[in-house]
Amino acid sequence: MTDSLKTLSEHRCFGGVQRFHEHASREIGLPMRFSVYLPPQAERGPVPAVMYLAGLTCNEETFMVKAGAQRVAADLGLALIAPDTSPRGPAVEGIDGATASWDFGIGAGFYLDATAEPWAEHWRMESWLIHELLPLAAQAFPIDSKRIGIFGHSMGGHGALTLALRHPGKFRSLSALAPICAPSQCPWGDKAFSGYLGSDRSAWLAHDACALMQSQVVAPYPEGILVDQGLADKFLAEQLHPQLFEAACFSAGQPLTLRRHEGHDHGYYFIQSFMADHLAHHGKALRA
């Protein structure tokens, strides 16, 4: 599995190492990039890891450069994994104007496996992450595959919530920052889901965090889910709908800490402000 792994760059960082990689993905059918931060504790053996899923317009570099996460991860002994958000390159740039509309839904991966044409061949982000990237990371790096958490921002927050609920037992901790909580009920999700999954809206619910939470028979994360949301976020009212996820968690008996923050917007200054809290949330769950 590691035969095609390429190291694009490597940087010392807070006693650990920040790496950027590319590999030939079987699931996507194209080269895919991701980044890994290994804390200094990884020199002594496998460490727990948290996978971060970024939002629209982002890639595998955005989180590692902008979030200010490595210092805290080094203190906690957490590895960080940040995949790219979408298939890229000449093979997909001409598909229904994917590049031109990357920041509006279609073209961005939304962390699902597309079933509708022309997206179905390469837009297999869920299978890439779950069945390929996580096993590759555990094989290639000193990462404990039994101690993995997941979080994300915006579209990536949607991905973190849905993947955690769709794959019970895969992730031991879960959080999100300004996630798209109910994509079947917002314009971004409507555009992406109709493109990737077709017009049958019932199929969309399998990738909607609120619907998935409402279907739970027991609380999937009894130690709690952490969500932070800025109240000055221009996408809050139309696209994000955290109150719907809050209601779904209440209905399922799922402990949720939903924190609303005056003055904070949707960007990485907001993310930086609460990054330490999110990594501490994961570190506590993954130390056991």
Q: Which active-site residues does the annotation give?
A: 154, 233, 266
Q: Are 249 and 213 in contact (CB under 8 A)?
A: yes
3-state secondary structure of 272: helix
Match 């030939």 to its residue by tokens: 24
Taking the C-alpha atoms of residue 18 and residue 35, their distance in angstroms, rounded to an integer, is 8
Please give the distance of CA 204 from its chain centroid, rounded to a whole number.
18
Q: In 201-248, which ranges are E strands?
A: 225-230
| Phi/psi of residue 22, nearest 5 degrees | -140, 145
Q: What are the distances in angstroms from CA 209 to CA 123, 216, 272?
A: 20, 11, 24
What element of type H or E holds 19?
strand 16-24
Rg (Cα) of the chain, in Å, rounded? Answer: 18
Contact in structure between 11 and 43 (CB atoms under 8 Å): no
Q: For 187, list phi and psi in degrees, rounded to 5.
A: -60, -40
| Nearest partner of 108 among 45, 54, 47, 181, judged by Cα | 54
H or E element: which one contains 134?
helix 134-140
CA 150 remoteness from chain centre: 7
